[in-house]
Chain A
Amino acid sequence: MDRVVGIDLGTTNSLVAILEDGGPRVLPDPDTGARLLPSAVSFLPDGEVVVGERARQLAAERPLDTILSVKRFMGLGPEHVTDEDRRRYRFAEGTSGVVRFLAGGRERTAPEVSAYVLRELRRWAERALDEPVSKAVVTVPAYFNDSQRQATKDAGRLAGLEILRLVNEPTAAALAYGLDKGAEGTVAVYDLGGGTFDISILKLRAGIFEVLATNGDTRLGGDDLDTRIADVLLAELPPALAQHPQIRSQVLAMAERAKRALSDQSQTELELVTPDGKPIRRTIRREEFEALVRDLVERTTRPCRQALKDAGVEPADIGEVVAVGGSTRVPLVRRTMEAIFGRVPLTSIDPDEVVALGAGIQAGILMGGRRDMLLLDVIPLSLGIETMGGVFTRLIDRNVTIPVSVKENFTTAVDNQTSVDVHVLQGERELASDNRSLARFSIPIEPQPAGVPRLDMTFLVDANGILSVTATDLRTGRERTVEVKPSYGLTDEQIEQMLEESFDHAEDDIEQRQLREARVDADTILHATRTSLEKHARSLEPGEAERIGGAVAALAAARDGDDHLRIRECYDELSQATEPFARRIMDVALREAVEGRSLEEL
């Protein structure tokens, strides 16, 4: 049996672990010894792709080309991209299919970006184990829907890893604790990750880890706490500065550090060094932080209550509460957990590593080790089809143990219909349009009077929580697997093509890429300059507006041409022309910040 590794593909950090005789072990970076790989990918203009810690540092300098939390975009379509997302990244135009980032002058889907993270972890594992690694267990948020799970599997394929099993993160954490403590009874796992929140209620008995219910929010995580802190600081900066992607990125990194600091300290200081070298300081107290994020943390309560209800247990029945995810170190989050479950959470295993350790254990189970342990997980969201009048008809209820299969009988509504069209969705709402579309497919049939054709369709959700459909024509008895066109996913052909491109066209047309890159940078500075001219007209000196205006016109003209060197030249000229103006805007900001603080201190 080939080696299987366990991977926690996190929003903020990712890890790789294996199961050994003595228990699970995290495999560190062979060069630095680091155990956490920041899930950051930076695309440089020369085509180089940087992954991990260095990429995270590059974010301040190259915010638009550095994707920091790609997991938030897995399995989504362009219509799910928020305004906040658009302030942080650039996206390719388009209204259908999957989200595509524009980074490093190329379009990149979320699975492609994630694949870089997986590839790096694979390298770590191969170095540590001194053998090739091609199979993995990868964890996903329990509340991930079918498309998000499929996207994760696609990322594995693109990274040359066969993903044998997707394991829900809270379940993996329970596995790590269960092995550690040999626990029995009912356990709640509260997992506040970087970008997602999950709650799972499990029953542990004689090595069987049975998930009773799960709930969550795939758009709520520690990142959101950081954003709230960052917004405070950004609001105190002049708009021109606050909108600057590099400043935003710096402030965000600073906010994350402040959040950590406030877990042990009652106050911390944020210090932003502006482009002209002047520091801006802002003190933030724990009470202020808690007031800023209270509503976010409060949002975790409802999923917890629903999960308890679905599991049919009362808080008093819960034997242990397990805290997972770095943000569960925040005292307010701890207190919220205690308020919901009435007990102090377990934190004896590092909340940053516990999911990876669980993934490592599951990898060991699949390799045939630990035959005493078994995971029985559930489907997090109800699955169904659209029926007459746009109604969502449930076929599989949420929290049903997987694998699960349901057989449905279909026929035709009108004479001589040549196909039966099926729209599969996932969610809890009554109307199809309020739920998440997973896929559409069409099964051709011979034309016959209405109601005569009979099709049996089997909807099977496997142990990964991923759906497949087979249809049997009851008249001919012919069975076939249905070709599903994913609503927010990649087709097999698209993945094949990406794989080919990554091998064949590693040396892509550099000229073209440099041109795209230069144009994108030109657009950014043009936009920033025009906005600042409008907003800070009073900070202009005589003749300055004309000088800047001339440079803007030159760059705008060069941008529409196809000489990237010329664009770079005009870019530099514009940036020189605007420098004194930018410094003056900064000074005003600094003054305002200082005045603001002295008032506060009085």
Chain B
Amino acid sequence: MEGSSASLMVRAETRERECWHCSARTGLALVCGQCEAPQPLAAGVDLFAVLGLRRRLVVDPDDLERRYHEASRVVHPDRHQTAGERDRTFSLAASAAVNRAYRTLRDPIARGRYWLELHGSPLGERNNQVPPALAELVFETQEHLAELRGASDPGAARESIETAYADIDARLRALVAELEARYAVWDAAGGETSDALAELKRRLSEIAYLNTLRDDVDETLDALRTPS
């Protein structure tokens, strides 16, 4: 969408924006550079733009945190407590947007999901199908869990489930690391080809599936640790 006429229009419109309070040009700024009044969020602005970033899959975590802190310092409601009601309303909305942007962009998985949303191809909430690449790991884990339930010696079964947890965790980390490596490749190639989006989607579903599995195993382990 970047470079399309719609986004150009948004950019043109936002460049024209004026502060509601002192009429200074504000562009996309969250607060007016002149009078510090918080501004309403510009329509059509994405979460990258909220923190002054270009749309890119690769995000530098330190730079992101620095931007987040800078933005928070100027928009947070604590900074506008003594101002009028309108300032406080805009501050609240802008602050919520800044928080959402940081929360979404700092995590490569959430960022990937958001990328799909931005490109009109969101990852569904439900995906019950076992991704083929994970079939073996999934079935092994389910076997361990079944063993544990019927185990006469929970100690031994617990060991195997702890091993399973470590396996899943390692696999998950590897998948996320691979994903981030792909981000750099896709960014270099433009990032929005249908092939790239399809692969992103596949990788994110695998990760989502493993995440759920890891949580299940973790819950089982938690239950073992605390006798009810």
Chain A residue contacts of B81, Cβ below 8 A: 164-165, 366
Q: State in angstroms the CA–CA spacing of A400 and B104 once bound together.
A: 11
Contact between chains at A205 and B82 (CB < 8 Å) = no
Chain B residue contacts of A165, Cβ below 8 A: 78, 81
Interchain nearest-CB distance for A406 vs B (Å):
9
Q: State in angstroms the CA–CA spacing of A352 and B95 once bound together.
A: 33
Chain A residue contacts of B92, Cβ below 8 A: 403, 460, 462-463
Chain A residue contacts of B102, Cβ below 8 A: 401
Contact between chains at A462 and B77 (CB < 8 Å) = yes
Tell me the residues in window 101-116 of chain B with beta carbons closer than 8 Å to chain A beta carbons: 102-103
Interchain nearest-CB distance for B46 vs A (Å):
15
How many pairs, one residue from A and one from B, have CB atoms within 8 Å of each other in the complex? 55
Tell whether A520 is near chain B: CB-to-CB under 8 Å: no
Do most interface residues of chain B lie in helix, strand or loop, or is the interface mixed? Answer: helix
Contact between chains at A368 and B82 (CB < 8 Å) = yes
Chain A residue contacts of B93, Cβ below 8 A: 405
Contact between chains at A374 and B78 (CB < 8 Å) = yes
What is the number of residues of chain B that contact chain A, defined by CB distance less than 8 Å? 19
Tell whether A293 is near chain B: CB-to-CB under 8 Å: no
- Size band of the A side of the interface? 20 to 34
Chain B 73-84 per-residue mask, 1 if CB under 8 angstroms from chain A, else 0: 100111101100
Interchain nearest-CB distance for B162 vs A (Å):
16
Contact between chains at B82 and A367 (CB < 8 Å) = yes
Chain B 51-70 per-residue mask, 1 if CB under 8 angstroms from chain A, else 0: 00000000000000100010
Interchain nearest-CB distance for A304 vs B (Å):
14
Tell me the residues in window 178-222 of chain B with beta carbons closer than 8 Å to chain A beta carbons: none
Chain A residue contacts of B96, Cβ below 8 A: 403-405, 460
Known interface pairs A402-B99, A403-B95, A404-B100; A1-B82 also in contact (CB < 8 Å): yes
Q: State in angstroms the CA–CA spacing of A388 and B32 once bound together.
A: 45
- Interface centre among A205, A400, A401, by most chain B C-beta atoms within 10 angstroms, is A401
Q: State in angstroms the CA–CA spacing of A463 and B99 once bound together.
A: 12
Tell whether B72 is near chain A: CB-to-CB under 8 Å: yes
Chain B 27-44 per-residue mask, 1 if CB under 8 angstroms from chain A, else 0: 000000000000000000
Tell whether B129 is near chain A: CB-to-CB under 8 Å: no
Chain A 368-408 per-residue mask, 1 if CB under 8 angstroms from chain B, else 0: 10010011100000000000000000000000111111000
Tell whether B5 is near chain A: CB-to-CB under 8 Å: no
Contact between chains at B72 and A403 (CB < 8 Å) = no
Known interface pairs A208-B69, A208-B72, A405-B93; A365-B78 also in contact (CB < 8 Å): yes
Chain B residue contacts of A365, Cβ below 8 A: 78
Interchain nearest-CB distance for B12 vs A (Å):
25
Binding site for A on B (CB under 8 A): 65, 69, 72-73, 76-79, 81-82, 92-93, 95-96, 99-100, 102-103, 226
Nearest first, the 4 A-B pairs at minimum CB distance are A405-B96, A403-B96, A401-B99, A366-B81
Binding site for B on A (CB under 8 A): 1, 164-165, 205-206, 208, 302, 362, 365-368, 371, 374-376, 400-405, 460, 462-463
Q: List 6 A-B contacts (CB under 8 A).
A: A165-B81, A374-B78, A376-B76, A403-B96, A404-B100, A463-B77
- Starting from the known contacts A206-B69, A404-B100, 11 additional A-B residue pairs (CB-CB under 8 Å) come to A366-B78, A366-B82, A371-B79, A374-B76, A375-B78, A400-B99, A400-B103, A403-B77, A405-B93, A463-B76, A463-B78
